[in-house]
Amino acid sequence: MEIVVQKFGGTSVASKELRDKVANKAIQIKASGKYPVVIVSAIGRKGDPYSTDTLISLSQTIYPEFSSRELDMLMSCGETISAVLMANTIKSKGYDAVALTGFQAGIITNSNFGAAEVENVNTKNIINYLKKDKIVVITGFQGISKDGDITTLGRGGSDTSAAILGEALKANVVEIYTDVDGVMTADPRLISEANVIESLCYEEVYQMARCGAKVIHPKAVEIAERSNMTLKVKNIFNDTNGTIINNRPSYSNIRKNVNHHKKLITAIAHMNGIVQVVININSEDEKNDYLLKELTDNKVSIDMINFFDDRKIFTINEEDLKVINKVLDKYNFDYSLRSNCSKVTIIGYKIHGVPGVMARLARTLNKGNIKILQSSDSNTTISCLINSDNLLKALKTLHKEFDLNRENKFEN
């Protein structure tokens, strides 16, 4: 049984016209002799009648607070509505279909409401329906705990659902549908010269997602990598090939001459709403021992970490600003904050240690009078913290400098 999992986001099922396109994508797979399993997100965005945000706002007009259990129960409704509408759309085109909740699809999670982890998937129900020649439509983002409570999987949950079901069903491929032709060399909303990348390895796309590219959630990439499962990012509006994601690095990054930097960089990603934190410390002061514990207890994630004898420097998301102020004031730390920052990251397979890459990046930004406030790197990335006012200029100059304006077609 050759199974193809197809995931469609909320904007892809928000109107009748778009639901027809989704149905046709599933029917194409069915007509080719394969077995489509369709994963859908909640309809639309805030303000749309059945979006998750709208449902939450509606309930808050009655009573402003939720228990985490009841919030998950409410948040699961949007996907349930989408699944039923999609199943009926497919039926209207002459193909049999069935809508399943996460529970009916066999997704068993822990009881960490709002960010539940999948512990087991029982595919028996899905397989039975596929054998009955039905197109199976499943709610993304949700499962059920061992205690029988509805749970949600957190940010990017529908991507996670698609990957975890693809793994459990031993699917040939998981297709992630979006409104662009695939994974791009930069955000096409900001960089008109951005190009589709034909192929990526797991590590490249994981770092892109982690550093701000909003195409696929990092957790879904992790799941695909551990099961060596192919992902495809495709456009809901056309039949282009999209981007293939597997365990094979693109040609540009398995070059024989590591000093040849053309196409060395695969893509550029960015994140806004970043705050730089600088704490002046006395290394012998015992209150230093409490800092990281307090941040962990308050669920503050820190990034771009540079610790010295006299200073601790790191970044946080803007949404954690109140918490960081509270923690640092509690222990009377001497600190300063720099807001209105963006993190710009260049991604390329195993660029760490390749001579001249950081120098080239720094030189390019310096030519544009863009100050680097902080930097960090990994095996696949080099990140720079800059003032957000310079973001567009930085993206454009780096995109051009690393030859990403030309089509990213890789040879073998």
Identity at 196, one-letter amino acid code: V
Q: How far, in whole angstroms, is CA 412 from its chain's centroid? A: 29
- 3-state SS, 315-371, equals EEEHHHHHHHHHHHHHCCCEEEEEEEEEEEEEECCCCCCCCCHHHHHHHHHHHCCCC
Please, are residues 108 and 124 in contact by the beta-carbon 8 Å criterion? no
User: What are the residues whose beta carbons fall under 8 Å from the beta carbon of 254, sequence distance 6 or more?
Assistant: 349
Place of tokens 């975890």: 164
Give CA 223 to chain center in angstroms: 13
| Two structure tokens written together for 191 | 């960089």
Q: Two tokens at 95?
A: 């193909």
Query: Where is the binding site, in residues?
Result: 7-10, 52, 79, 178-179, 189, 214-215
SS3 66: coil
* Binding site members for ATP: 7-10, 178-179, 189, 214-215
Hey, how many other C-beta atoms are within 10 angstroms of the C-beta on 46? 10
256 class by beta-carbon count within 10 Å (0-12 exposed, 13-18 middle, 19+ buried): exposed
Any bridge partners for residue 174, and if so which?
A: 5, 231
Q: Which of 12, 40, 271 is nearest to 141 (CA)?
A: 40
Distance CA 136, CA 31 (A): 15
**Distance, CA of 292 to CA of 275 (rounded, Å):** 17
Tell me the binding residues for substrate.
52, 79
Q: Please give the Cα distance from 39 to 100 (Å, whole number).
A: 10
Strands, E assignment, 62-110: 97-100, 107-109
Under 8 Å CB-to-CB from 58, ≥6 apart: which residues? none
- Of residues 361, 116, 345, the one with CA closest to residue 210: 345
In degrees rounded to 5, what are phi and psi of residue 377? -150, 165
Helix (H, G, I), strand (E, B) or coil at 12: helix
